Every structure is written in structure tokens, then in C-alpha cells.
Amino acid sequence: MPSSPPSIPRRVVSLASRASLVALATLVAGCATAPGAGPAPGALPGETPSAPRRAAPSPLATEQRFLDDWFKGTPVVIALQGSGPLVVEVPLVHSFDRGSVVPKPALGAVLDRVAESLRRQPNTRVSVTAAADPGAAASQSLARMTKVREHLVARGVAATRVVLQPAGTPTAGAQLLITLVAAPIMRLDDTTLPPSAAITRNR
């Protein structure tokens, strides 16, 4: 009768099981640091993926917030129409005294802040409309617009950036439309450019 195989001591079995667990843990740890945890597809070695860039805010939206902070709670209307223009309206009662073409202090305060906005955003210009008194001649409207431009120029705005517009049928005593204009093209002086490498080789 064949003899039964010798029994393996329990201590030896425990050691073998412990060794298996250690080997399994090592394998799992190796999988956790496998190449699949590397940089995102398309990233260069050593390059960390960056968050998507946010579009820069529109200069006119920035100026709308600036003017809103100053005149919130007043009758001054400040509204951005889509991507532009930025509309600033001051009621007639706060713009001019009857029969006068000189801006009232309330309108002057608005013009001071608009001038500050224009100085901060050099690629903008402003169109000015000023209403005449009911029944007054159209020349009064032009004289008021001229005074508004003079006020802005006195605050550091170039006269070429202030456009006078006919009043038509205005809804406010004074209306200013701030718009973006194309940045000026920088022209280079040809005499300051280095000679072409191709021309130099052919000489």
C-alpha cells in the first residue's frame, strides 16, 4: 500500500502564501506605474498638459464694467450692443440747461469717465450726439456736440477720435457711442532693414 505524501508543515504553507501575496502586490504596483499613466496623447515628453486658454475679454466689455461701477443707480444708461458699440446716454435734464450749450456738471462727470476710458483704450473712438431743446434750431444741437468734444479734448482725448453725429430723433440729451477701430499699421523704413541673404550671396 503506497504511503501517503508527507504533510507540509502549516508554517511552510503560511510562508508560501505570504510570498505569493508579496509577489501579487508588487505586480499590482508595477501596473499602477505602467506606461499607460504617462502624458496625454500629443504631449511632448516632459510636457504637462495645460488648461485651455480663456478668450481675452472684449475691451468694450471691460469699459462697460468700469462705467457701470461709476454710474450704477443713476439715470445714466450704459449698454453694450453685442460686440459693440458701447452706448452711454445721459437724459436731457442732466445734460444741458434750457437754451445753453454748455454741459451741466452731471454730463461733465460722465464725460470725464468716458475720456478716461478712451485714454485707456487707444483703439477706440466715440461718436457724439446731443439733442436740441424742443423747438430750437438744429444749430443748437451742433453747438452742444462741439462743446462735448471740447470737453473730451480738454481731458486728453485726440479730437480726431471724437466724431459728431446729427441728432436725428435722439432719446437722450447726450449720447456717446464708443466703438473699436482697427489698430494702425506700423510702416517700416526700408533703409533700416538688413540686406537679403540671397542678394548678398549673388554679389
The model's pLDDT over 74-112, given as tens digits with 9 standing for 90+, comes to 999 999 998 879 999 999 999 999 999 999 999 999 999
Name the nearest CA neighbour of 79 among 61, 96, 105: 61
Q: What is the band of 10 on the pLDDT scale with cuts at 50, 70, 90? A: very low
Write out pLDDT tens, residues 172-201. Answer: 799 999 999 876 555 555 555 556 555 455
Residue 153 predicted with pLDDT over 90: yes
Position 202 scores a pLDDT of 52
Position 110 scores a pLDDT of 97
The pTM is what?
0.63
Decide if 176 contacts 167 (C-beta within 8 A).
Answer: no
Position 112 scores a pLDDT of 98
For 125, the 3-state DSSP assignment is strand
Longest alpha-carbon distance in the chain: 134
Position 4 scores a pLDDT of 52
Residue 45 predicted with pLDDT over 90: no
Q: Cell numbers of 162, please?
A: 471724437
Name the nearest CA neighbour of 174 among 160, 189, 164: 164
Query: For the packed helices 138-154 and 105-120, what is the interaxial angle rounded to 10 degrees?
Result: 50
